[in-house]
Amino acid sequence: MNLPLLNNLSIYEERVRSLQTNNVLTWCSGCGNYGILNAVTHAMALENIGVEDAILCFDVGCNGNASHNIQAYTIHGLHGRVLSLAAGIKIADPTKTIIAFGGDGATFSEGVNHFVHSVRNNFPIVFIFHNNENYGLTTGQPSATTPCGAKMNAAPDGVSTQPINPLQFALSLNPSFVARTYSGNAQHMTATIQKGMQHKGFAFIEVLQACPTYNKETPDEWYAAHVKDIVEHPNYDNRDIWDARRIVEDLNDTFYIGVLYQNTDLPDFLSVQLSREGKLRLVDEVEHVSINNFY
């Protein structure tokens, strides 16, 4: 954490408070979203990202209902489409920190194509992937990350299809940043989100999220007992994609959390746009352009 700030708690507290709203939070009691929103708020405060510095982009789902629970410029778009929306925002104003939020339904069913191409494009945005392994807002149907056999709404005999492993999927796309954290650990979440904010490229952060209403198998306590911080792993090199691919395969005993893979050499989308070299905000360029030489 940022020590000078901790030495000045009143400034830090003020930054956090300035991001909080009076709007009522509408999640179930014990929902992982409370912790995630809190961690985002703290990460913003620690990174000194204020109201004029960031755009928060929300998908549709339980997480999306936070779009008015933070004093920030937010946009709450369509189900599955948040990454493309966020990319359009970042392209228009590269000076802003763009944080996108989406769930497992949005990311791996409705909008999986956007996820694939956002990773490929290495859009410089932070993507907080809320993985509670079900469709909470529509009352507990299975998602693409629900374990096979789980009895869910609309799947009374148990889910019959194999789940997607989100991190394995992401790693197959040659990403630049892949991290995992869980909704029961405020400090780890905050630190991981901060690292995502500092990354230059598409920062994919999976948050294993407790859903006390529809996913009783894996509450925060369960995660707490099964996760292990990657920094504790001997000889792990998070610059090695094969190390990362091996570590995310093992889902039964230990879930490693932290920044599991980072490639700082991969150029982000904006840095390879030759036509945009030396340019920043599109809005500053909106004026009549002579077309005399373009016929």
Partner 1 sequence: MKRLCIKIVGASGTGLLSTGDILTRALASLGFNLVSDREFPSLIKGGHSVYTLNVSEDSIYSLSRQADIIVALDKEGMEVYKDHLKDGGILLHAYERFGGIKDLIEEFQSRNVNVISVPGRKTLQEIGANHLMVNVLLIAMLWKVLDYDYEYVEAAIKEKFSSKPKLLEIDLIVLKKGWDLADKKLDFSKPKKPSARRFINGNRAITLGAIHAGCRAYYAYPMSPSSSILTYMAELASKTGMLVKQAEDEITAAQLTIGSMYMGARAMTATSGGGFDLMTESLSLVGMIEVPFVCVIAQRPGPATGLPTWTGQGDFHLAKYAGHGEYARLVIGVSNAQDAFDLIQHAFNYAELYQIPVIVLTDKQIAESLWTIEDFQEKAIPIERGLVSGEGLVSSDRYKITNNGVSKRWIPGDGPAYYFANGDEHLEDGSLTEDAEPAKAMIAKRIRKKESLLQAIEEPVIYGEEIADISFLGWGSSLNVMLDVIADFAERGVKVNYLHYRYLFPLKKGKLNNFFTKNKSVHLIEGNYTGQFGQDIEACGHEFAGKLLKWNGRAFFIEDVIEYIDQNLNKNL
Euclidean distance between CA atoms 48 and 45, whole angstroms? 5
Determine the interface stretch with partner 1 among 36-44, 208-216, 233-241, 283-291 (rule: CB under 8 A). Answer: 283-291
Q: What burial class does residue 137 get, using C-beta atoms within 10 Å of its C-beta: 0-12 exposed, 13-18 middle, 19+ buried?
A: middle
Contacts 24+ apart (CB under 8 A), 231-240: 231/258, 238/262, 239/263
Footprint (CB under 8 A) of partner 1, residues 199-228? none
Residue 31 within binding range of partner 1, rule CB under 8 A:
no
At closest approach, how far in Å is the CB of 53 from partner 1? 7
Euclidean distance between CA atoms 77 and 56, whole angstroms? 11
Radius of gyration, alpha carbons of the chain: 19
Residue 89 within binding range of partner 1, rule CB under 8 A:
yes
Q: Which of 33, 41, 63, 67 binds partner 1 (CB under 8 A)?
A: 67
Q: Which of 16, 96, 164, 243 binds partner 1 (CB under 8 A)?
A: 96
Euclidean distance between CA atoms 172 and 149, whole angstroms? 26
Q: Which is nearer to partner 1, 96 or 200 (CB)?
A: 96
For 63, half-sphere exposure in the C-beta direction (CA atoms, 13 angstrom radius) is 38
Q: Which residues of 45-61 are buried (b: 16+ CB within 10 A; e: fewer)?
A: bbbebeeeebbbbbbbb
Q: Which is nearer to partner 1, 77 or 142 (CB)?
A: 77
At closest approach, how far in Å is the CB of 282 from partner 1? 3
Residue 286 within binding range of partner 1, rule CB under 8 A:
yes
The torsion angles phi and psi of 220, rounded to 5 degrees, stand at -55, -35
Say which DSSP state 94 is in.
Answer: T
∠ at Cα 177 (185, 276), nearest 5°?
Answer: 130
Residue 231 within binding range of partner 1, rule CB under 8 A:
no
At closest approach, how far in Å is the CB of 150 from partner 1? 29
Structure tokens at 291: 């077309």
Euclidean distance between CA atoms 92 and 145, whole angstroms? 33
Say which DSSP state 108 is in.
Answer: I
Euclidean distance between CA atoms 121 and 75, whole angstroms? 22
Residue 85 within binding range of partner 1, rule CB under 8 A:
yes
At closest approach, how far in Å is the CB of 114 from partner 1? 6
Determine the interface stretch with partner 1 among 171-179, 212-220, 226-234, 286-294 (rule: CB under 8 A). Answer: 286-294
Determine the interface stretch with partner 1 among 170-178, 207-215, 247-255, 275-283 (rule: CB under 8 A). Answer: 275-283
Q: Which of 4, 9, 52, 232 binds partner 1 (CB under 8 A)?
A: 52
Q: Which is nearer to partner 1, 82 or 191 (CB)?
A: 82
At closest approach, how far in Å is the CB of 280 from partner 1? 11
Q: Which is nearer to partner 1, 123 or 223 (CB)?
A: 123
The torsion angles phi and psi of 249, rounded to 5 degrees, stand at -65, -40
At closest approach, how far in Å is the CB of 259 from partner 1? 27
Residues that bind partner 1 (CB under 8 A): 23, 51-55, 60, 65, 67-68, 71-78, 81, 84-93, 96, 113-114, 116-117, 273-276, 279, 281-283, 285-295
